[in-house]
Amino acid sequence: MSKILLVAPELALNYTEQLQRIFGFSTFRANQEEIVQAILAGRDIFAVMPTGGGKSLCYQLPAQVMNGTCLVISPLISLMKDQVDAANALGMKAGLLNSTLSASQQHEVLARLQEGGYDLLYLSPERLATSGFMERLRRAPLSFVAVDEAHCISEWGHDFRPDYLALSRLKQELPGLPITAFTATATHRVQEDIIRRLALHQPLMTRASFDRPNLFYQVQLRDQVNSQIEAVVRAHSDEAGIVYRLSRADVEKTTAWLQGQGIKALPYHAGLTSQIRSRNQEAFNRDEAQVVVATVAFGMGIDKSNVRFVIHGDLPKSMENYYQETGRAGRDGEPALCLLLYSRGDYPRLRFFIDQLADAGERQAGLAQLGRMLDFAEQPVCRRRTVLRYFDEEYGPENCGTCDVCAHGVQTVDATTYAQMIMSAIYRTDQRFGAGHIVDIVYGAKTGRINALGHDQLKTYGVGRDKGKRFWRQLIDSMLSQGLLTSEGDPYPLLRITSTGEEVLFSRAKFVTHRMLEEKGGEKGGEKGGKSESLLYDERLFGVLKQLRRVMAEEAGVPPYVLFSDKSLHQMSGLLPQAPEAMLAISGVGEIKLERYGKPFLEAIKSFLADNPEVLTRQLESQEEGVKAPAPSRTRKQTTGAATLNETLQLATAGLGIEEIAAARELKSSTIASHIGELLQQGQGLDVDHYVVPAIRDEMTELFRSHGLSRLKPIVEAMEGRAGYDQAHIVRGFLVSQGWGELEESDASAG
């Protein structure tokens, strides 16, 4: 009989205190408190929580409060060390037991387990099947078991692992021990299978929303895949991302391309040795590499919270895979981009793998899952609604604002004539050629094959040379999607016209397709979908704190995000805490982390503000001007970007006034005034008298001489309504351009 130690009543009362003290959070996320309470009451639990939904806190917090050890079953050995490092950084007693340990190390871990020396012990599922291990567990002081990635136990799930079947023995071998099962992806069918296999007794069942509002979903037609991937990576400079490719060869090609462009990218696939995979993942976790390029078929143990983009260079085989892989972006709750580069040619490649399955039922299920992915990629409907509907969840709003369809809009195009051109070329060549050759005919390409076959003499040769090859290839994809054409044969599929296509070819029906509006692949799409105001933060200070985090993490031998997440650093760079009490107000900073890591960060903030007093002044001015402090769940940089300044400069150079520029750019006049001030500081040669009449400028100049350049409020108050902050920004920018920064220092020293 195992030593099952349930929580003492007096300890159960303080879990909310531990939430703040250990984890640095003042409130729970959705569903977390209900799960924590159920664990403390000794109940079995089945919980579906999306990646980034905070499931680890659900078992870590009770493990800290309860007596005994929580066993955490995790399928990825490569991830365990990071999970243990993160838990230990919170002040918990965490360890791991897997094949990476030597025999003596394993003996030490087991001895410590028997003594009750762990709050958390991470195990691989294979460990449960080893001889004598269950007997050891029966003698250990245990509190409960947390099964992570529980969908792996279900043959109906997307990542079934036979080694997980050993978990079916837990209830029999350790009767009375509560089991908590967590997964990020489970349909109702998979849910029922998990509960049955784990023999959960009247479990609390909770399904958190699958919605990840911080993720921006975007689909683009794949053209020059490596160039498209590079554009997104460059748009996210100095931000971490994951690129998924279908094959090992694709992974190596994309990695080589990115490395050739000076981007720090590393490969990750099953063809590499375990040592190389481990080393590459470690480099990514420690921010030594910006991008990991991985096969979609090989699972990655990524617990990195600040992944800002996930790119699929090929179509995933199922919605569950897509959701799981995109879910590795934005785990910190910050905006992130999920881009799928899609070509209709992905379908036969994936279909080939599915056709190799021996079981007819598995083949049928695989084709159905692939069909759902095709619908997601090809149908111009809200991506978010499509994802959620797959998991039996309805999305309420008509426009999510955080996918390309909702953010950009879709235009309906009558493409009947273009479709007839394509089908005429197919018909006149006896339906014996593939898409590439048909495109060459319509486009009028001069190839040896076309000349040899005499296809340059066809009436349809060159009829579409006013459009690019990409246009015609995308049109064929759309025609395949809507059933006008089929693509048959292996390994070289041929295009054939269907009965539906014949209706269009002979003008008995129209062909309508859709075009995405204002689609820009290089944009940081995740930032476009923010549903709440942005927390202003200083990009330079964020860079200072990020570098400090990297150095301290290297010294501690842990990934940087174990110290503080990007979200925490963004808040530090915006709220500018200068005392320990203020630091505790930062999300993710509890007493333990403050004690261990807080002092260097406070000193760095104070030092930065001493060298850059205008940053603190700007924050105070925002408060004085009545700018509401926004919720910190969305962030944006406080420094003005070069692109937006250039737009203002172009309009200003054309002679437009502040109000005219503001109207043209759909921005506030105060924003444009601050732009003008910055442009004057940069010496852009704008005429200050065009924006502030000379008499006001002269009066403000004398006030700045008396009060200094650091604060605008005294200047505006002294003007007694004759001028405001807009004019103060502009005059200060003009004075800085005239060397007033140096004059002010010399005056101060003389005084």
CATH number at residue 144: 3.40.50.300
Q: Which of 190, 215, 195 is nearest to 205 (CA)?
A: 195
Is residue 618 over pLDDT 50?
yes
The total of structural domains in the chain comes to: 5
The Cα 564–Cα 720 span in angstroms is 45
Is residue 186 over pLDDT 60?
yes
Mean pLDDT across 215-230? 90
Position 300 scores a pLDDT of: 56
Let me know whether 539 and 424 are in one domain: no
Encoding tokens for residue 291?
Answer: 């991008």
Position 308 scores a pLDDT of: 93
- Quick: pLDDT tens for 84-134: 888 888 889 999 998 888 889 999 999 999 999 999 999 988 888 888 888
Q: Which of 637, 656, 685 is where one domain is finished?
A: 637
Encoding tokens for residue 204?
Answer: 């609390």
- Quick: pLDDT tens for 254-283: 999 999 999 999 999 988 988 898 889 888
Position 749 scores a pLDDT of: 31
**Eight-state DSSP code of residue 19:** I
Let me know whether 380 and 251 are in one domain: yes
Let me know whether 600 and 649 are in one domain: no
The Cα 217–Cα 72 span in angstroms is 32
Q: Burial, 175: exposed, middle or buried (Cβ in 10 Å; 0-12, 13-18, 19+)?
A: exposed
Residue 527 located in a structural domain: no
Higher pLDDT, 509 or 565: 509
Q: Which CATH number fits the domain that encloses residue 627?
A: 1.10.150.80
Q: How many CB atoms lie within 10 A of CB 644?
A: 13
Q: What range defines the domain where residue 134 resides? A: 3-207
Q: Which of 35, 33, 37, 34 is nearest to 9 (CA)?
A: 37
Phi-psi region of 54 (alpha: psi -120 to 50; beta: other; left: phi over 0): left
Angle of helix 319-326 relative to helix 383-390, nearest 10 degrees? 110
Average pLDDT, the chain: 83
Residue 7 located in a structural domain: yes
Is residue 2 over pLDDT 50?
no
Position 639 scores a pLDDT of: 44
- Quick: pLDDT tens for 680-692: 887 777 888 888 9
Task: Give the Å distances, CA to CA, from 355 to 246, 361, 367.
Answer: 17, 11, 9
Backbone angles phi, psi at 291, to 5 degrees: -130, 140
Encoding tokens for residue 152?
Answer: 């792996």
- Quick: pLDDT tens for 355-401: 888 888 878 888 888 888 988 998 888 999 999 988 888 888 888 88
Is residue 518 over pLDDT 50?
no
Let me know whether 456 and 565 are in one domain: no
CA angle centred on 329, ends 328 and 330, rounded to 5°: 120
- Quick: pLDDT tens for 157-183: 666 777 778 888 888 888 889 999 998
The Cα 316–Cα 158 span in angstroms is 12
Residue 181 located in a structural domain: yes
Let me know whether 329 and 416 are in one domain: no
Residue 199 located in a structural domain: yes
Let me know whether 600 and 646 are in one domain: no
Is residue 294 over pLDDT 90?
yes
Is residue 1 over pLDDT 50?
no
At residue 25 the predicted structure's pLDDT band, cuts being 50, 70 and 90, is confident
Position 46 scores a pLDDT of: 93
- Give 369-411 as a 3 state SS string: HHHHHHHHHHCCCCHHHHHHHHCCCCCCCCCCCCEHHHHHCEE
Residue 522 located in a structural domain: no
Residue 487 located in a structural domain: yes
Is residue 638 over pLDDT 80?
no
Is residue 290 over pLDDT 50?
yes
What stretch of H or E contains 740? helix 740-750
Is residue 515 over pLDDT 70?
no
Q: Which of 393, 409, 425 is where one domain is finished?
A: 409
Q: Which CATH number fits the domain that encloses residue 495?
A: 1.10.10.10
Let me know whether 104 and 20 are in one domain: yes
**Cα four-point dihedral sign 76, 82, 86, 91:** positive
Least confident of 354-358, 362-366, 532-536, 617-621: 532-536
**CA end-to-end distance (rounded Å), the chain:** 82
Residue 416 located in a structural domain: yes
Mean pLDDT across 477-498? 85
Encoding tokens for residue 240?
Answer: 């971490």
Let me know whether 646 and 704 are in one domain: yes
Which single residue is written with the structure tokens 């195992």?
A: 2
Q: Burial, 695: exposed, middle or buried (Cβ in 10 Å; 0-12, 13-18, 19+)?
A: exposed
Let me know whether 237 and 108 are in one domain: no
User: Long-range contacts for 271-278 (Cβ within 8 Å, ≥24 apart)?
Assistant: 277/78, 278/78
Let me know whether 62 and 202 are in one domain: yes
The Cα 204–Cα 612 span in angstroms is 53
Backbone angles phi, psi at 265, to 5 degrees: -125, 145
Is residue 427 over pLDDT 90?
yes
Residue 521 located in a structural domain: no
Type of residue at 656: L
pLDDT over 90 percentage in the chain: 30
Let me know whether 77 and 114 are in one domain: yes
Q: Which of 606, 637, 668 is where one domain is finished?
A: 637
At residue 628 the predicted structure's pLDDT band, cuts being 50, 70 and 90, is very low
Let me know whether 477 and 492 are in one domain: yes
DSSP characters for 155-218?
A: TTSTT--GGGGGGGGHHHHSTT--EEEEES---HHHHHHHHHHHT--S-EEEE-----TTEEEE
Report the b/e string of 294-326 with b at 16+ CB within 10 A.
bbbbebbbbbbbbbbbbbbbbbbbbbbbbbbbb
